[in-house]
Amino acid sequence: MGNLAGEGVPVYQPNNLAFITHPAAYAGMMADSNFFQAYIVGEGAAVDVLQRGALVPTLNAKVLFDQQVAASGSNYVGMFLHRYAIAGVCAPPPSNEELGQVQEVTIYPVAEAPNFAVQIQMAYSIKDQGTVINLHTNLGFSVTRPDFGSYGLSALYL
């Protein structure tokens, strides 16, 4: 939290911060009494951990796990980030109209995201015995503000 606050990140905005780590580190946090003893975290938070396996927000951040987070031996990494550290990015889908058998149109259905292109393709399919309609887009995520995230490595919760 200190790293983010030092960079000027608004750390007191509810629901805008997240801490993401490996499931093994997440499970280790649930085994730590500081995360589930009612006299420390409150009765509701203790019930969430012990009965639902869900950690309550810590430092104003949702605590989440992701199986794809890197682990190195007994060390686990985590990312503490503001929601504006990453953003959705998109690219126009490639055209197949030059094949001559496909009719297509590209629409931009979201006014707040003027570059979000959705391609609609239609073609007759002998295999399917009818017209096939295909909707697709090229969408991904990218780090847009690296100063809005902080990377950590710890062997604390094993």
Long-range own/partner contacts, residues 32-41 (CB < 8 A, 24 or more apart): 32/157
CB proximity list for 129: less than 8 A, separation 6 or greater = none
- Percent of the chain at pLDDT exceeding 70: 96
Give 77's pLDDT tier (boundaries 50, 70, 90).
Answer: confident
Q: What tens digit of pLDDT does each residue of 32-71 get?
A: 777 777 777 777 777 777 777 777 777 788 888 888 887 7
User: In whole angstroms, how far apart are CA 31 and each of 20, 75, 126?
Assistant: 17, 17, 58
Give 154's pLDDT tier (boundaries 50, 70, 90).
Answer: low
Neighbours of 16 (CB within 10 A): 18
Residue ranges covered by each domain of the chain = 2-86+143-154, 94-136
